[in-house]
Amino acid sequence: MNVKGTVFKYGDNVDTDVIIPARYLNTSDPRALAAHCMEDIDTEFVKKVQKGDLIVGGKNFGCGSSREHAPIAIQASGVGCVIAESFARIFYRNAVNIGLPIIESPEAAADAESGDTVSVDFESGSIVNETKGKRYRVPPFPPFMTKIIEAGGLVASLHGREEQQ
Amino acid sequence: MGMTMTQKILAAHAGLESVVPGQLIEAETDIVLGNDVTSPVAIRVFEEIGKKEVFDSSKVVIVPDHFAPNKDIQSAEQCRKCRVFAKEKGIENYFELGEMGIEHALLPEKGLVTAGDLIIGADSHTCTYGALGAFSTGVGSTDMAAAMALGKCWFKVPSAILFRLHGKLQPYVTGKDLILHIIGKIGVDGALYKSMEFSGDGVASLTIDDRFTVANMAIEAGAKNGIFPVDEVTMEYIQAHSKKPFRVFEADDDAVYDQVFDIDLDSIKQTVAFPHLPENTHTVDDIPEIPIDQVVIGSCTNGRIQDLRQAAEILKGRRVKKGVRLIVFPATQAIYLQAIREGLIQTFVEAGGAVSTPTCGPCLGGHMGILAAGERALATTNRNFVGRMGHPDSEVYLASPYVAAAGAVLGRIAGTEEVLK
């Protein structure tokens, strides 16, 4: 499983209020949420983002609210992976649960700049910044996490497991 | 190896003798909570799971409080989804407008959460109940759905930071000043993935409402939970509100902590967090001239009766400065009624404030007090992120009810001393 795309780089403490402002939480429709993703820190994001692109943040990415709408908005906008120095814990759980790949890599996060082309191989655990010509090792996703991501979320992966049995 | 208070509660709910930091466990949930923003997503996931009934209809709590009273047609639909689900599944602890309140003030008041409980809620401020000696933490909607189906949730056992409190807070200094001071010290990710445990002789001097405020904002330091030991103050509150059986857990004497901070409560000053992070703290004696447009007093952080009494003490016989909008929102119907009985509501209205029915509305920029571009609010709420209370170019300053009320009178941010002199 791989993704390859263009980096959208943000700083430390990207909070869930800027990922998806609360004024749009009167719906839980993923496409409606994606239309306002990152709006309060980057009005260009929704215009530019392409399927498979990456968001890269600093420390404590996704801090604040427990709203699952935040990773849902990122996922529905087409982003294939979020890389950060560290993640806020509720965001981390939520991202895994909905099948949005996220990776902690302080080095890759620090080096990446907006516009860089970055590819990630989840199973072997490597991040390649093609623009910078740099490669980073990260712990590969354990099989259960790959399954969740491939199935499109925790619940879907559980159903898949039942069907196989 | 000794265990922290949090680790002991987790072990007990996982049916284990002991746990260690980093261990993955599956634990039983005593209460599973959601609101009108997070429950609709959880209900969708619950339906995908395909279970007909929730694990225990008395242990699921749904409180429409974020966009309630219904802000618009879309939020009305979200609240309806909660209502229909609660009715279908026989969820008795669904609180409709008229009996509802802001969830984290309401659950303790209704006696639904108590010492020793393990509570998860699809709301980040679920950590509030640590004030009662419970383990409680925020999760997302998928976790809420899974817990509604199974009565269980998985956790990574957290390590902890210990805050040993000594002495006593000065007059007009509150739990809000204490927690802002702590967040200013350790930063918004200072307790990431960890527990914040409080102990020491200073705990006894903190009222239960102070403790709710402190535990409520543990998440603003990135913590998984904040927790207080159970003492006479806790027991008095629990006995007045809850008939549920409770369990008192204590940290082992040889419990291991990642860090220990000794905090002298006497030295804490009135503190304000500047935009756009709760860690940007300044004490009131170190604040330049900052005019404000709006003051918001309320929320799950500071909408309890003690908070309203403190705000009213400052506002009694004084007027809100012309050009400043004061909005007060009691956190629950019971608090609202008590405030009416005590004459606090009259004080707010006479001072020129607007009083709202309980709602999370203004705190998250939902409704009932949104800021325009360039406007500045002084609020007793918990977050001051970009766009939190409205336009992305607006600003929120966080403070205690005393300081917020003083700001309303002066039209700028200052300590209570200036008003009281």
User: pLDDT per residue over B60-97, tens digit each?
Assistant: 999 999 999 999 999 999 999 999 999 999 999 999 99
Give B383-394 as a 3 state SS string: CCCCCCCECCCC
Q: Which of B71, B74, B222 lies nearest to residue A88, judging by beta carbons?
A: B222
Structure tokens at B55: 């694990």
- The nearest alpha carbon in chain B to A39 belongs to B392
Structure tokens at A72: 């849902």
pLDDT value for A141: 86
Structure tokens at A102: 């996220």
Residues of chain B with CATH 3.30.499.10: 5-264, 272-420
Where are the alpha helices (H) located in B126-275, listed in sequence order?
Answer: 141-150, 175-186, 208-216, 232-241
Which chain A residues touch B369 with a CB distance below 8 Å? none
Strand partners, B136: B119
Which chain B residues touch A73 with a CB distance below 8 Å? none
Strand partners, B298: B329
Q: What is the mean pLDDT of residues A40-63?
A: 97
Distance from CA of residue B291 to its chain's centroid? 27
Distance CA A99, CA B289 (A): 48
Distance CA B74, CA A50 (A): 29
**Predicted TM-score (pTM) above 0.95:** yes
> In this structure, what CATH number is given to the domain that contains residue A26?
3.20.19.10
Would you identify the CATH topology of the domain B5-264? Aconitase; domain 3 (3.30.499)
- The nearest alpha carbon in chain B to A94 belongs to B140
Instruction: Classify A129 as helix, strand or coil.
Output: strand
Q: Is pLDDT above 60 for A164?
A: no
CA nearest neighbour of B44 among A88, A69, A32: A69
Q: Which of A21, A26, A40 lies nearest to residue B74, judging by beta carbons?
A: A26
Instruction: Classify B357 as helix, strand or coil.
Output: coil
- In sequence order, the 6+-apart residues with CB closer than 8 A to the CB of B151 are B28, B29, B32, B55, B56, B59
Cα four-point dihedral sign B348, B353, B210, B144: positive
* Surface-to-core class of residue B151, CB atoms within 10 Å of its CB (0-12 exposed, 13-18 middle, 19+ buried): middle
- The nearest alpha carbon in chain A to B125 belongs to A65
Strands B259-264 and B160-166: parallel
CB B365 within 8 A of CB A25: no
Give the DSSP H or E segment for A54. Answer: strand A54-57
Q: How many residues does chain A have?
A: 165
Domain count, chain A: 1
Which chain B residues touch A97 with a CB distance below 8 Å? 140, 142-143
Burial B396-415 (b: 16+ CB within 10 A, else e): bbbbbbbbbbbbbbbbbbbb
Q: Do B143 and A15 touch (CB under 8 A)?
A: no
- In sequence order, the 6+-apart residues with CB closer than 8 A to the CB of A61 are A13, A14, A82, A84, A85, A86, A87, A88, A91
The interface predicted TM-score of the complex, written ipTM, equals 0.94
Q: Is pLDDT above 90 for A154?
A: no
- The nearest alpha carbon in chain A to B45 belongs to A155
Show the low-confidence residues of chain B (pLDDT under 50).
Answer: none
Structure tokens at B218: 């543990």
Structure tokens at B349: 């209205």
Distance CA A56, CA B8 (A): 37
CB A114 within 8 A of CB A100: no
Q: In the structure, what pLDDT confidence band is assigned to residue A160 with cuts at 50, 70 and 90?
A: low
Q: Do A90 and B192 touch (CB under 8 A)?
A: no
Domain span at residue A136 reads 2-164
Q: In the structure, what pLDDT confidence band is assigned to residue A165 with cuts at 50, 70 and 90?
A: very low
Q: Do A66 and B277 touch (CB under 8 A)?
A: no
Structure tokens at B62: 């749904």
Distance CA A74, CA B386 (A): 18
Give CATH for domain B272-420: 3.30.499.10
